[in-house]
C-alpha cells in the first residue's frame, strides 16, 4: 500500500484558524496512489451486495465514482442545497457555527437499495450522518460508511450509530492537542 500520510498534505489554519485541512489533491494527482486508494476503498465492500455508492460533494465525488465502478454499481451524488435540479430530499445539520443543508435526488434511491456512503474525510460526522439519514428516509439501507481519512479525535463515528465504518487512515491527534 502507498504511504498515504506522505500524499495527504496538512494545511494548517485552512479554511479557518485552528483547522488542519487534509488536502488529498497530491494523492489524486499520483497515478499509482490513486489506483491503490480506489482499490483499497472498494475492497471491504464486495460482499455487501451494494446497489450504489453515495458520494458527498465534492471530494466524495472524486473518490466515490471510481469506487462505484470498481464495485460494479452506480454512483449517486449528495450535493449542497440548490445544486441538484430535480425533486430532492433534504437534510439540515448543525455546524460549529450555524447550519448546512445537503440534498439528494429523491428518485435516485428506492426502497430496497443498499448503499455505501463515501467521503474523503470523517470529521465531526455531521455530514455523513445527514447523508445516511436521507438515504434511510427514502427507504433504503446504509450498508456502511467509507472514508479515506478519519479524524478520530473529533469522535465523528459516534454519530453514525452501529453502521459499519471503514477508513484507510486514522488520525488520532488534532491541532489542539
Q: Where are the alpha helices (DSSP H) in 79-125?
A: none
In whole angstroms, what is the distance from residue 174 CA to residue 62 CA? Answer: 25
Shortest Cβ 89–ligand AMP spacing (Å): 18
Shortest Cβ 123–ligand AMP spacing (Å): 3
State residue 138 phi and psi, 5-degree precision: -85, 5
Enzyme catalytic residues: 59, 96
**Residue-level length of the chain:** 177
Kindly tell me which of 10 and 107 has the beta carbon lying closer to ligand AMP.
10
Neighbouring-strand partners of residue 122 = 150
CA angle 98, 101, 105 (to 5 degrees): 180
- Give contact residues for ligand AMP (rule: CB under 6 A): 19-22, 56, 59, 119-128, 156
Shortest Cβ 115–ligand AMP spacing (Å): 17
Kindly tell me which of 47 and 177 has the beta carbon lying closer to ligand AMP.
177
Kindly tell me which of 47 and 176 has the beta carbon lying closer to ligand AMP.
176
Amino acid at each position: 500500500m502507498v504511504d498515504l500520510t506522505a500524499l495527504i498534505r496538512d494545511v494548517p489554519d485552512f479554511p479557518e484558524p485552528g483547522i488542519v485541512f487534509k488536502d488529498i489533491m497530491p494523492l489524486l494527482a499520483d497515478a499509482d496512489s490513486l489506483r491503490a486508494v480506489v482499490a483499497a476503498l472498494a475492497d471491504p465492500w464486495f460482499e455487501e451486495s451494494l446497489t450504489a455508492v453515495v458520494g458527498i460533494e465534492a471530494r466524495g465525488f472524486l473518490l466515490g465514482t471510481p469506487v462505484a465502478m470498481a464495485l460494479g454499481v452506480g454512483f449517486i451524488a449528495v450535493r449542497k442545497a440548490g445544486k441538484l435540479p430535480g425533486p430532492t430530499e433534504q437534510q439540515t445539520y448543525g455546524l460549529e457555527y450555524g447550519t448546512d443543508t445537503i440534498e439528494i435526488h429523491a428518485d435516485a434511491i428506492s426502497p430496497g437499495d443498499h448503499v455505501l456512503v463515501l467521503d474523503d474525510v470523517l470529521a465531526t460526522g455531521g455530514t455523513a450522518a445527514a447523508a445516511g439519514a436521507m438515504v434511510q428516509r427514502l427507504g433504503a439501507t446504509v450498508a456502511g460508511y467509507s472514508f479515506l481519512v478519519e479524524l478520530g479525535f473529533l469522535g465523528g463515528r459516534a454519530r453514525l450509530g452501529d453502521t459499519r465504518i471503514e477508513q484507510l487512515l486514522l488520525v488520532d491527534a488534532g491541532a489542539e492537542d
